[in-house]
Structures are given as C-alpha cells and as structure tokens.
Structure 1
C-alpha cells in the first residue's frame, strides 16, 4: 500500500472521534423526567417485567436488534494471526456494514484468548445481551469447534461469516453458472483450491445444494487432500479423495468448476485450457484472485468467471449475505441459523439474479441491459431488493424449520418495514460512485496547487471515478505531489501562465473575445482573463479537452461561476440555479435555489423547480417538491406566501404530472402524517417531500447551512443546474470528502449529458 493510502486509512480511523462506530441514544434524554425514566427509578419497571418474562427483553431493550461481532484475531483478513486488539478495526468495520445494509446495531468484542473452551465460555456468558452472534476472523480448525459448540449451547443465532457468508454467495453463483452452461451440479467435477474455514464451508454448501462428494477434489498447501495422507484431520478427511493425483495441474484436468480460496496466480492459463468446455471459475482470493480476470477471459472465451473484486463482473461479496441473513433471523427471534436458512438464502440470491434488474441498478453500472447471463450470475451489492428477498427467505425458512420464536404472517408489510429501515436514499452516494466508475470522465481541477484538491484527485484516480487534469502553478503542484508522495506522475498538468502564446491559449482567447466583445471585453482583456485558471478551465470544457470542471475551493462562489457563465454559458431557453443534496438519516433531501438567484419571481421559481425536478430524476429519484413559505395554502397573505402560491399554480398548469405543492411550511412538507391530517387535498399526497424550493437565496442558504451544522447532514453541492455543459462549483474550503463527492456527481452529470446529446 502506498504511503498516501496508508495515511488515508489511518486518518479515516483516527480523525474526529476515533473508530467507526458509536452508541447513540434512541430515546429522549434532555429533561430530568427523561433521565428518571431511562434510569432510576423508571428503569425498574422493564427490569421487573423481564424478570417475570424473559421474552420481554426483546420488547424493552435493544437485544432484538443487537448482534455481537466477536473475534480473537487469529485469522484477520489476509493479515493472519495479529491478535485480538489489532483486529478491532475489522470488527468495527463489520459493525458498520451491518448498520448501513440492514440497520442492525453491533457491539464488537475482541477476546484475547486462543483457548477454545475459554472462548466458548465467554461468549456463552454474554447471551443475555445479544440477539445474535457473528463470529469473525477465527482460524481453522478452532473456528469449526467454536461455532459448533455455540450453536448447540446458545439459544440465539450464531454464524461464522468467514465460512458461511462466502459459501452462501458462491453457492448461488455456482447454481446459476451451472444452469447457464447446461451443467448438472450433481455430475459437475469440482476442484476446490484451499482448505481453510471458508473452503470447507463452501464445499459443504455445494454438497447441500446438489454436488456429489465423489466429484470434488480439495487441495491445501501440501497438494491434493488424499485419503492415504498421514495425520489427516477429521475436517479435511471429509473431502479426501482416493484418486491417484497429487497436484492442482492434475486435479484441474477435465474439471468443470474451479473454486479458489487460496492465493493469487496459482491457476495458470494452461490449467484453465485443460478444463472442460464452458468452465466455471470462482477465483476468490483477495485482493488478487487465483487467476486474473483478464487472463482467464483472454484464455477461454467460454469461461464464466467470478472473483472477490468489485471491479469485475460476478463479485462474490459477503455483504450480499450476512446483513440480510441476520436481519431475517432477528426479526423472527430465531434460536439459530440452521442449514435450511442458509440454503434459503442461497436460492433467494440465485433467484434474484434472474429477475429483471431495477433501473437504478442498471444506472449505477451505466448499462441498459444488465440481465442474467455470464457476466451477471449473482446480484449487485447496490440492489435494493437484497434486504427484502434474502431476509424474507431466511425468516420463512426459520419459521418452517421450527427455530423461530415469533411468526410473521403479513409478508408484504414486513417487506415494507425492511425498506424503511434503510431510509429512502439506500446509499445514494455509493450508487452514484458505482455509476461513475462504469464510465469515468476527464475532470479538470482548477485549483490543483492545493493539498486537498490533489488528495481528492488522487482518490478519484485510484477509485477509477475520474481522470483528473491538474490546473494551476506547475511548480507548486509538482512540489506538493513530491512532498506528499501522490501517485499522479502520469496525470496531465497545465499552467495557464505557461500556456500563453500557444495555439490552445490563443484559441481560448479568441473564443472569449468573440462572446464578450459587446459586453465590454477587449481582446487584451480576454488575454488577461485567460490567465485566470477558471477561465482557462472553462475553455477546456467548452472545447472538449475536458468533460467537466471542479473549482471554488479557495475562491468565492461568484468569482468561480462568472468565468463558466461567460465561456460556456447557459442552456438555450433556460436559467442557472444551484442545488444541494443533503444526506440525512431519512434519506436525501434536495434544496434549491441555494446559491444563484437572490430573489426570484414566481415565474423564475417555476423555472428553477423544473430544473430541480429534471436533475433529481437523473439521479433515479422521484422528486416530491414543496414550495416553502411561512404560510400553508393561503393561511397568510404576504409577498413571499403569494409568490410561492403563484409559482405552484404555474407549475400545476404547465406540468400537471409534477408532484409539487405550495405554499407550505417546512414541518408539514417533511411530515407526511402531519400533512395528511391537516391538508389531505395536497398534491404531495401521503408521502413527505424530498425537494424543498426556497423563496429566496437568503432562506435557502441559511437552511442548508443550519441543517449541515446542527442537523449533522452531509451537504453535497452546490450542484450547478442549467449550464450549457456540466460545470460544478465547490463550497469554499470544502473537505476532501466533499470534493470527491462533487467529482462523483460531476462525472454522473457528464454521463447523462452525453446521453442527452
């Protein structure tokens, strides 16, 4: 890992509040009465209720939504036995994934013991605290014994995800791959390279879904696991073969399936060529698979290939499983996660891959035809249906197999509850990032002689979000690159001062002069202005030498947007407006106009609203727009109330399909129950608004900054709307994260712009 990546990783974990997770109160606690209810004396009542009926712990405490992620640090990722404390960042990370993908709370517990009995006894003593146990990063063979004993001795679900998560995801992939190429899994010849916890569990899963033991060959670091091997432990003995073979080369010859859970580059092109027609290769070593995707597909055009990596098709990613498996198990208060539940998850995943893909997933991967086939045998991690399909399948299996303590009867209502858990955005930035990566664009950073700008450029280049072009003082840019060891040596650097007199510079000057000569700009003025990096960057975009530009980090908004307006201009018959996407716990809320139009008229507000609606639709979100005021539907007269009412009237007449209403107060717009109870006639219906249009720049700007600081919402923007070509302006002194988010938005904006041409 480069020094910059190391620093980023360390900074991510250390800056602000150290670590990645925290305990957040879920009940009011601002008054003395609240505290008296939360603790003494009020807490006595639920204690007594639980003492009388232990099941009431699920009613009065967080137990039912609380999972322990427990490890002793003996097999941490690819780092090996680094110890319990060193493994804590991984366990916190697992907790974060539980929360964002399935709204499950987590306490991570790192146990400083390698003794199986001691480990089991500690976890057993913790049973009253948790609704489930996720075992993590425990080496084999101890992990098998630990999981077996805990499953037998605890009355809550236990799963070692390193084993079963990979088994479930790859099991679904294997089922679908076999179906695609017409192979019968019961007769498929399977080679499993690796014999650790994941490999053992995967192989057991393949047998559970139809594979035959006699058709499976497993290898460890010593070669083929044969029945005549001395000192063969009972776990490996389960998969020992009596075939007279000793090496991977011999085992792979004539095989139908290769399962890799071992090390990089152990499967050669020659080995792949020796496999049967339409070979299935799941090379899951991370970060580098047993054979690279490029080599496999170049060697065999008929191969179906999956890896553990996100940058290739068919990623075997445990996040497709564990959040949703535990979600379903918790929601029926299952006493265990049994084979029926795991197999149900396998078949649910496999079935989901055959369903029509939601448009938002297609958009995230910049395609129109993502469908079941060689490059899509398992769902994508961004698929919003995962939580409903897998959790429901697991919950149903728990009920039918008799391990559920509560029964769900209204499955459609349960699905709706699951959707609500994740909020309405369902990870919008993650989805936009995925979409950006499918077709990265050239982004010119107009303030590249700044550390934060260069750090953001490094990130978007590493993440394959964009191809940065660095603009600014060359000497300073190169000095910063050297000082901070940025890996930007092959990135184009341009200095407008050095460009003076060049063909490019003169072309840019002529264009600016022609556009502005009747607005007081002489040729001499145009030449002086073009030295300004914002004019030069805008000209790069105008002439197609860059796809979009990012600027504004060190200059005020007006100074940044003026060059773009003069060089690129506004779309015909349009106007310019600014929009912020506020990322809240209830999903994204869009604010407009917060940056451009100081005091728009009703007509101008209607135009701004049309711009907002179009931009939000491009993000695959259905806009529900409220025109805000201090009044509700004529309850008060005044300049602002009347203006917002008139804007709503214009929009209802011109765009009757648009979901928009006003004048309306913010609390009614954002509280659907309040709105429905008091104004059932509203065009917003029974759902809250997700787009707020403010009567003037002052109110919009104040509102987004208040929500950002007091409400702890993350602001993405300002997103500039109405320009003739995509241009985006940063907040003054934006963070690196905010710059990266804006680049992501800018790249997606360019993708949509190119589609519309």
Structure 2
C-alpha cells in the first residue's frame, strides 16, 4: 500500500471539515465534491450561496454533498464574529473582523479559528501571499514558532531509509534565507507535521556541508545556532546536526563521521535544509534523478492547518493535498 493510500484510509476513518473559500472555482469545487462524495472530508463551501448552488447544479453535483456557508447571511456571521473576538489570542476586534469577512478567505479562517472548520484550503484564486497573510492574521502562529514554512514528503524508489522509501524534507518552498531562530522553527514545525500526518517519531537532521565541525564558516554557524535553539525549545524532539546529507541518512557513513551517540545520524526521517537555494534544488534533484513522487508543499507553523495549493495543480493533485491537510488536522487534534 502506497503512502497516499494509507493517508486516504486515515482520512476516511475520521473525516474533517475542510473550508473552501474559492468555492466557485471549477477545479476547487470538483476536488471538494469528489473528496466529500468519497467520504474523505466534510466539504464546506464558503461564498455567495446562490452562485455556489447555481454552479453546482450546472456542473452536475449533488448539493447535499456540501455544506454551504453564505457570507451574506447575517446571523451566522455575527455568531462567528462574537465567538472569535471572545478568544484570548486573536488580533482583530469586531468591526475589523467583520470588514475582512466580506472576503471568503478571511471568513473561512475565522470559522476555522472558532472550531467550525478544521482546515482552510485555498491557493488558486488567492496568491500564496494572500493565504499567508490571512493565516497569520486570523489563525496565528503556534507558540514558540517564529515563521511560516513548508515541508514536503518524498517517496523515492530504491531508497532504503529508516521509513522505507519515504523522506520528509523542508523548507523547500517558502522561507528563503531563514535566520537561526526561523531555521529552528522550521525544524520544530516539521517534526510536528510528520508526527500528525504519519504518526512517525521524528528524527530530524539539520543539513549542512559540514558534519560536526568538519567545516567552518558563517553558513555552518547558522545551522549550529539553529540546532541549539531547537533543542532548547523542544528537548522532547530528536533534532541533531550539523550533518552532511549522507551522514544523516546512511548508517555506514554516520558510523564513520559521527563519533558520538545520536538518535538521528544515519537514520534521519526529516531533513532540514539551511536555505531555499539548497531546498528547492535538492527536491528537484530527488525528483529528476531519483524519480521520486513529492507531495506538498504543506504549510506549517500556523495554530491549525492552512493549505495553499499550486494554481496550476490538476484536480487529482488538489484532492491529494486536501486529504493530506485533513489527516494533519485530525492528527493534531489527537495530540
């Protein structure tokens, strides 16, 4: 059974409420419908109810598969605002939130913040910047996390790692040149993400061109400082480094290069790149030469799951990312 098959099974066992603020978009509505009809999620379409129902009928969808939230209906909107502003960790007051909720993206995230949705899924009609800004303003960041980042899951044929052919990597898409505090946040978030999604006990390696002082320079110093911050903030997590790639994932190399006890060296299941140059290039190398399937990027660092999909993604890819996001949300609830 492939990793996606396992994730789909988890989703069906515990469907989550996924809010779609780009409900009128044809690809987004199709993905929401198919995921809902197949029992993986409870799709919540957020927007103008009349338009949504008209488009659903034109496209041949059973409207009963969806829950439709009309952003123009005042009683429910007022209820969302009232419950939102009553929370302790929110930034917006009643009037400011009401104005922003004229945008379905902010409306969906307000629903998520109060628990009426588990995930907000967007990214076709809204830019990545739109989604990140709304998420930071409405959902907020997890305590101790200083930056939004991403993680991807690579399924690499022929790779025999500690989790078989699977390897989680980040950040390969969002945070361009993280400082030590941000890099530590990425590592911590990545550990939480793989635990929520896959149930792994994360073994997280901070990647560098140096293994435990074999090289010197400010690029290595950044990784070392990030490691110290991450270990201090989350001593419960197995985060170690700095390691070269082979020392992180190959037991024989780790035995030669890492002359101390390590829960991570040689058996890492999460790799943290030092910057986006390394991350973006590495993922493309894995895809092109390792013929790997790469799932993601999955946004991480928010208080709850927010997903920004690629504008050019086909419906099949959107469905996969919807289901992954739902399983992450279910996993986070169980912790």
Q: TM-score range by the shorter chain?
A: 0.7 to 0.9
Paired position in structure 2 for 1:69:
none
Contact kept in structure 2, 1:554 and 1:732, CA below 8 Å: yes
Paired position in structure 2 for 1:572:
143
Question: How far is the alpha carbon of 1:693 from its aligned partner?
Answer: 0.6
Q: Matched residue of 2:115: which SS?
A: coil
Paired position in structure 1 for 2:106:
535
Unpaired runs of 5+ in structure 2? Answer: 160-164
Q: Matched residue of 2:125: which SS?
A: coil
Paired position in structure 2 for 1:592:
170
* Structure with the larger strand share: 2
Residues 518-553 of structure 1, C-alpha deviations (whole Å, 9 max, x = no match): xxx993x64442221210110111233222221113
Residues 333-375 of structure 1, C-alpha deviations (whole Å, 9 max, x = no match): xxxxxxxxxxxxxxxxxxxxxxxxxxxxxxxxxxxxxxxxxxx
C-alpha separation between the residues in 2 aligned to 1:504 and 1:661?
48
Paired position in structure 2 for 1:751:
330
C-alpha separation between the residues in 1 aligned to 2:98 and 2:232?
47
CA 1:476–1:516 in 2, change beyond 3 Å: closer, same or farther? same
Choose which of 458, 466, 479 in structure 1 pairs with 2:33: 458
Question: How far is the alpha carbon of 1:651 from its aligned partner?
Answer: 4.6
Residues 219-244 of structure 1, C-alpha deviations (whole Å, 9 max, x = no match): xxxxxxxxxxxxxxxxxxxxxxxxxx
Q: Matched residue of 1:743: which SS?
A: helix
C-alpha separation between the residues in 2 aligned to 1:648 and 1:608?
11
Paired position in structure 1 for 2:299:
720
Question: How far is the alpha carbon of 1:691 from its aligned partner?
Answer: 1.0
C-alpha separation between the residues in 2 aligned to 1:706 and 1:556?
26
CA RMSD of aligned residues (A): 3.2
C-alpha separation between the residues in 2 aligned to 1:441 and 1:655?
28
Contact kept in structure 1, 2:123 and 2:310, CA below 8 Å: yes
The within-5 A match list for 1:538-617 is 538-575=109-146, 576-585=148-157, 586=159, 587-617=165-195
Paired position in structure 2 for 1:468:
43
Choose which of 494, 505, 508 in structure 1 pairs with 2:77: 505
C-alpha separation between the residues in 2 aligned to 1:476 and 1:444?
17
CA 1:599–1:545 in 2, change beyond 3 Å: closer, same or farther? same
C-alpha separation between the residues in 2 aligned to 1:516 and 1:607?
22
TM-score (norm 1): 0.39
Name whichever of 630-639 and 470-479 sits farther off: 470-479
Contact kept in structure 2, 1:660 and 1:683, CA below 8 Å: no
C-alpha separation between the residues in 1 aligned to 2:106 and 2:264?
46
C-alpha separation between the residues in 2 aligned to 1:572 and 1:652?
15
C-alpha separation between the residues in 1 aligned to 2:155 and 2:247?
20
Residues 279-326 of structure 1, C-alpha deviations (whole Å, 9 max, x = no match): xxxxxxxxxxxxxxxxxxxxxxxxxxxxxxxxxxxxxxxxxxxxxxxx
Paired position in structure 2 for 1:672:
251
CA 1:685–1:540 in 2, change beyond 3 Å: closer, same or farther? closer
Contact kept in structure 1, 2:239 and 2:264, CA below 8 Å: no
Contact kept in structure 2, 1:552 and 1:729, CA below 8 Å: yes
Paired position in structure 2 for 1:703:
282
C-alpha separation between the residues in 1 aligned to 2:235 and 2:94?
47
TM-score (norm 2): 0.82
The answer as to 2:318 corresponding to 1:732 is no
Paired position in structure 2 for 1:660:
239
Choose which of 14, 19, 22 in structure 2 pairs with 1:444: 19
Question: How far is the alpha carbon of 1:509 from its aligned partner?
Answer: 5.5
Contact kept in structure 2, 1:534 and 1:563, CA below 8 Å: yes
Q: Number of aligned residue pairs: give it.
A: 324
C-alpha separation between the residues in 2 aligned to 1:570 and 1:625?
21
Question: How far is the alpha carbon of 1:660 from its aligned partner?
Answer: 3.4
Paired position in structure 2 for 1:434:
9
Q: Matched residue of 2:189: which SS?
A: helix
Residues 542-583 of structure 1, C-alpha deviations (whole Å, 9 max, x = no match): 233222221113332121121122112123343443222223
C-alpha separation between the residues in 2 aligned to 1:656 and 1:567?
29
Paired position in structure 2 for 1:630:
209
Contact kept in structure 1, 2:121 and 2:308, CA below 8 Å: yes
Question: How far is the alpha carbon of 1:495 from its aligned partner?
Answer: 4.3
C-alpha separation between the residues in 1 aligned to 2:325 and 2:43?
12
